Amino acid sequence: MEVTEDSYDFGRVRQGEVSAVTHTFQFRNAGGRGLLIKRILPHCGCISTTASAPSIEPGGEGSLAVRLDLTGLYGFQSLTVDLETNDRNDPVHVFTLEGITIRPWLVDPPLLELANIVRGESREASGKVQSQCFEGETAHKITGFESPSPAVRAETEEFEIPSRPLKGRKHLEIDQPFRVCVHGEGELGIQEAPLLICTDDPKSPTLTATLRWIVDGDLGTTLKQVFLQRMYGKAQECPLSIYSRRGTPFEVLSIRAEPNEEERDTLEIVRGKADTPSRKNYILRVSEDVPKSEGFKRYAGKILVRTNHPETQVLEIPYYVSVRD
């Protein structure tokens, strides 16, 4: 088998502009008998191949069409395809595709979780935008931020553009850090908003990150959910505190466990010790009235707290009780 070329250099490719690279390798049967193609083995799932024919007559020509899907491939690539034939001198011929791919802009992380923010206060988080460019090209930058939420502000932080590629690389890796500040306002609970990141790259003028946070009121609880169990006669108990984050005095008007429909009351709540004007303490335990269960039994409900706090009059805490005796 005579081969015109063993390797194809597809050059420098930018993700998003080119999704795949194709090339056809040519070869000729220079022997005195038919050339039989036994197997084609790409060494990457990103490569698909098509042979012009399963066999080539003496003196005839054949070809191997190769398609390389560039999705997820970044940096220098050298990927091979084995062509197995009945050629005794060259039973496995290796064809190679080589080149450099760089990815588009990437927001890291794409989802920024800012956790809990007390209403009236603010919380910050950091992220970065990663980009790549070939040496000698213009390195684009972030030009600004936009968000439909008035609670969101963002700004870039100082960074340096590397003067040369990292060792072993043929392209520049650029990390542009940014900082986000979210103010706790609006309704209590989970809030989410997009952050539009504007750049001076005409091919990627806007990137998007998602921001998610929880707005809390002044009143908080030490437990977001309650899990208790009674196993073989031994019952658990746990403390629960209701407190003001700002130290505002308040009173608990009532606190009770409300089981789900058609379930019995399985949770007992007793007053704890060392209360202060801005913190109320309780002990939670499995009720002694829960009947014994030979198998595994699970109960659920919510703890309903009513207060005279000017901002938060009602708190609800889910609870789950597991019983096995």
Q: Which two tokens stand for residue 246?
A: 């700002």
Q: Which residues are paired to 76 by β-bridges?
A: 100
The residue type of 182 is V
Counting other chains too, the contacts that 188-193 makes at CB distance below 8 Å and 24 or more residues apart are 188/119, 188/215, 188/216, 188/217, 188/312, 189/214, 189/215, 190/214, 191/149, 191/151, 191/215, 193/147, 193/148, 193/149, 193/151, 193/152
Task: Tell me what the pLDDT averaged over the chain comes to.
Answer: 90
pLDDT interval class at 169 (50, 70, 90): low
Sheet holding 7-14, edge to edge: 7-14, 92-102, 75-85, 35-42, 55-56
Q: Which two tokens stand for residue 116?
A: 């809990």
| 214-245 pLDDT, tens digit each | 999 899 999 999 999 988 888 889 999 999 99
277: Cβ contacts below 8 Å, ≥ 6 apart: 249, 250
Domain(s) of CATH 2.60.40.10: residues in the chain: 2-102, 106-216, 219-324
The pLDDT of residue 189:
87
Q: Is pLDDT of 14 > 80?
A: yes
Mean pLDDT calculated for residue range 268-281: 94
Mean pLDDT calculated for residue range 98-102: 89
- 2-102 to CATH, choices 3.90.1300.10, 3.40.50.2300, 3.20.20.60, 2.60.40.10: 2.60.40.10
In sign, the C-alpha dihedral spanning 8, 9, 14, 15 is positive
Q: Is pLDDT of 257 > 80?
A: yes
Q: Nearest 10 degrees: CA dihedral of 38, 42, 48, 50?
A: -20
Q: Is pLDDT of 172 > 90?
A: no
More confident position, 50 or 157: 50
pLDDT interval class at 167 (50, 70, 90): low
- 219-324 to CATH, choices 2.60.40.10, 3.30.390.50, 1.10.565.10, 2.40.160.60: 2.60.40.10
Q: Cβ distance 145 to 154 under 8 Å?
A: yes
For the chain, give the number of residues.
Answer: 325
